[in-house]
Amino acid sequence: MKRLIFVLAIIFNLVHMSYNRRQFISFLGKASVGTVLFPHYLTSCGNTSTPIKVEDITQDRIDELRKLILKALPASDRDDLLLVDGLNYHTIIKWGDNISNKETFGFNNDFTCFIPLDESNPKDGLLWVNHEYINPLYIAHQNGFTNDQTKKSIAQIDKEMYNVGGSIVRIKEENGQWKIVKNDPYNRRITAKTPIKLNWDYKIKGKSTVMGTLANCSGGITPWQTFLTCEENYDGFYGETLYDANGEPQHKESYYYGWENYYDNPPEHYGWVVEVDPKTGNAQKHIALGRFAHECCTLYELEDKRIVAYTGDDSNNEHLYKFVSSKPNSLKEGVLYVADTINGKWLALDWETQPILQEKFKDQTQVLIRAREAAKLLGATPLNRPEDIEIDPITGHIFVSLTNNKRKNDFHGSILKIEESEGKFDALTFSASTFMAGGEANGFSCPDNLAFDHSGNLWFTSDMSGNAMNKDGKPYLAFKNNSLFVIPRFGDDAGKVLRVASAPRDAELTGPWFSPDGKTLFLSVQHPGEQTKDINNPTSKWPFDKDNIPKPAVVAITGNLIEKMNRLNELNI
């Protein structure tokens, strides 16, 4: 690892000399390029290449890096998945496909995460895919149910519940094509009915094992190679418990699915970070990480194996959190903090040490269940919908997408950069600044998922909502369909925002995840045709299969360009 750090530092020092200096500084910020902090478990999973020899970094190689000029895609409103020259895709799996004789792939795929079964073979492993929510129109159509939301049968609700959660599928790459291994013993579904344990010493609403997971948006990976899947807009399914001025709980009905009318599950069982074992499917909800609309959970392992977990609450004026464990490899023992980005302080959501929390809540369990209220009592900074979070592999800075906050006239969002004091991930102070703002000047709007590739290029997706895209009179018209962008770290395009993929109509591109060898980008195409009112006249037909309706699907993006972008791989790192 030390060798990798050293070599990365040399490469970036060398490339630095050729950069447009302004772009370089704006990208890397103030940190020294010597502080390289790539989480080893992100690079070690299946990456079989050998470390680069310093003498291999010749001027020829550096010149080659600089020559990478990417011809970005223009914005498009076409109903297709369009890719820039040098990239191509194939569909790995789509909604309704059989993964075994018993199970099918769920709806609205989001976060993806690939873990090789054997570290020596990066082309054979288990793919986790989140299924965030369902579109009742399509579930009803494919299963012969009514589309009248007031007349749903229990069988229809069960079908909806089956189609959220997540899928584990074994996939293999042969001759450049990733394919699922049907009926592989590891293939399984986790659904809104799968029993899931709470990783906590106390019951919540009388239960220590709860029914299912839902609203699974983005996620993460642990250093011990398990999947994390995050429950985001949980209140759409079983509603929420709100507290009146007297502190009395009131049930706020779910705004969309109405599952509480069919199953007696309390809202408090949802809104958590969930960990799934790839091989057994065993799952647990991590109560210590708090309860809110978790977009994602991004982990960093400290030298003493304690864990730092960053997670954002994707809702207007909600907050950014970090958990720091007190024991190695624990997501239970430790302290949850919330960010005061104005003063650069992490505020402890800790009942024992915070009298203001003791006045309002009876114990730490209540603090964690009602984390949003506790955060506000402590003075946490309201943010414009914190979504995905990634750690810059070169500088160790933490990047956070702030999608938008229309109520505050922030229509295009921005990417926030957090620099922990002295580069220490368990620091209690930090500085925050805007890395890049959305808008026509930078060519993107509403940043959502982020992914750094092996060379430190930043890839990100956009999430303009379907009912505002391509609409006259809306601020999103110029951006056309949602897209995938990259900000190159090297070459003549360093620091520019380049569109590399354009989504089908109404869709959002989600869950970007690089294969261990850096040669494939797994990507979800979520909710194509979401604005459809008439099933016989859908707004999208992607991926153009025999059913003639749109289907969410996971694709593999490959090609010369990805391999070029991952230049360090070419240098045998």
Residues lying near Ca ion in the complex (CB under 5 A): 448, 463
Count of residues in contact with ligand FEO, rule CB under 6 A: 6
Residue closer to ligand FEO (CB basis): 97 or 132? 132
Of 235, 301, 318, 387, which one interacts with ligand FEO (CB under 6 A)? 387
- Nearest to 418, CA basis, from 324, 316, 484, 345: 345
Binders of ligand FEO in range 224-283 (CB under 6 A):
232
Say if CB 294 and CB 216 are below 8 A apart: no
Q: In degrees, to the nearest 5, what angle opens at C-alpha 237 toward C-alphas 231 and 241?
A: 85
Residue 160, binding choice from Ca ion, ligand FEO, none, Cβ under 5 to 8 Å by partner class: none
In the region spanning residues 425 to 444, those forming contacts with ligand FEO, defined by CB under 6 A, are none
Q: Which does 419 bind (CB under 5 to 8 A by kind): ligand FEO, Ca ion, none?
A: none
Structural contact between residues 389 and 298, judged by C-beta atoms closer than 8 angstroms:
yes
What is the β-pairing status of strands 398-402 and 386-391?
antiparallel
The binding track of 342-381 with respect to ligand FEO, each residue x by CB under 6 A or -, is ----------------------------------------
Cβ at position 296, least distance to ligand FEO in Å:
8
CA distance 251 to 190: 27
Rounded CA-CA distance 373/277 in Å is 32
Q: Among residues 132 and 392, whose Cβ is nearest to ligand FEO?
A: 132
Binding residue (CB under 6 A) for ligand FEO from 295, 390, 420, 506: 295
Q: What is the CA 174 to chain-centroid distance, rounded?
A: 27
Choose between 314 and 390: whose C-beta lies nearer to ligand FEO: 314
Q: What is the 8-class DSSP label of residue 467?
A: T
Q: What is the footprint of ligand FEO within residues 112-171 (CB under 6 A)?
A: 132
**Separation of CA 280 from chain center:** 23
Cβ proximity to ligand FEO, 268 vs 318, nearer residue: 318
Phi-psi region of 296 (alpha: psi -120 to 50; beta: other; left: phi over 0): beta
Greatest alpha-carbon pair distance for the chain in Å reads: 71
Whose Cβ is closer to ligand FEO: residue 232's or residue 268's?
A: 232
- Count Cβ atoms below 10 Å from residue 345 Cβ, excluding itself: 18
Q: Pick from ligand FEO, Ca ion, none: which does 132 bind, CB < 5 to 8 A by kind?
A: ligand FEO
Nearer to Ca ion, 12 or 111 (CB): 111
Q: Where are the beta strands (DSSP E) in 505-544?
A: 508-514, 521-526
Q: Which does 232 bind (CB under 5 to 8 A by kind): ligand FEO, Ca ion, none?
A: ligand FEO
Other residues' Cβ atoms within 10 Å of the Cβ of residue 492: 15
Q: Does 314 bind ligand FEO (CB under 6 A)?
A: yes
> Using CB atoms, what's the residue nearest to Ca ion?
463
One-character DSSP codes across 63-116 = HHHHT----PPPP---SS-EE-TT-EEEEEEETT-BSSSS-B--SSEEEEEEEE
Cβ closest to ligand FEO, residue 232 vs residue 493: 232
Question: Which residue ranges make up the site for ligand FEO (CB under 6 A)?
Answer: 132, 217, 232, 295, 314, 387
